[in-house]
Amino acid sequence: MLKHHEWWNGQGYPLGLPGTEIPLACRMLASVDAFDAMTSDRPYRKALSDEAALAEIERRAGRQFDPELVRLFIGMTATKT
């Protein structure tokens, strides 16, 4: 759990781990958690649509998120809608 805020490019926190140095479970959680946060209403903003959230995650693939996991996540999510 500690490492799910790490970024694929090493610019995350708390340890600044890059790429596959981030445990797989944490890389998976990062994308799913971001999707959940973006598609949920917050006191300061309305939820994004699933499509908009997926587009934002895809835009950040290779920088914030593991690009291969993003590809798989988007593929799995697309089959559900």
Asked if residue 54 belongs to a domain, the reply is yes
Distances (CA, A) of 18 to 59, 71, 77: 18, 18, 26
> Rounded distance, CA 70 to CA 58, Å?
6
Asked if residue 81 belongs to a domain, the reply is yes
Asked if residue 24 belongs to a domain, the reply is no
56-77 pLDDT, tens per residue? Answer: 999 999 999 999 999 999 998 8
Asked if residue 19 belongs to a domain, the reply is no
Asked if residue 40 belongs to a domain, the reply is no
Asked if residue 80 belongs to a domain, the reply is yes
Asked if residue 10 belongs to a domain, the reply is no
Domain span at residue 76 reads 46-81
Domains contained in the chain, number = 1
19-58 pLDDT, tens per residue? Answer: 999 999 999 999 999 999 999 999 999 999 999 999 999 9
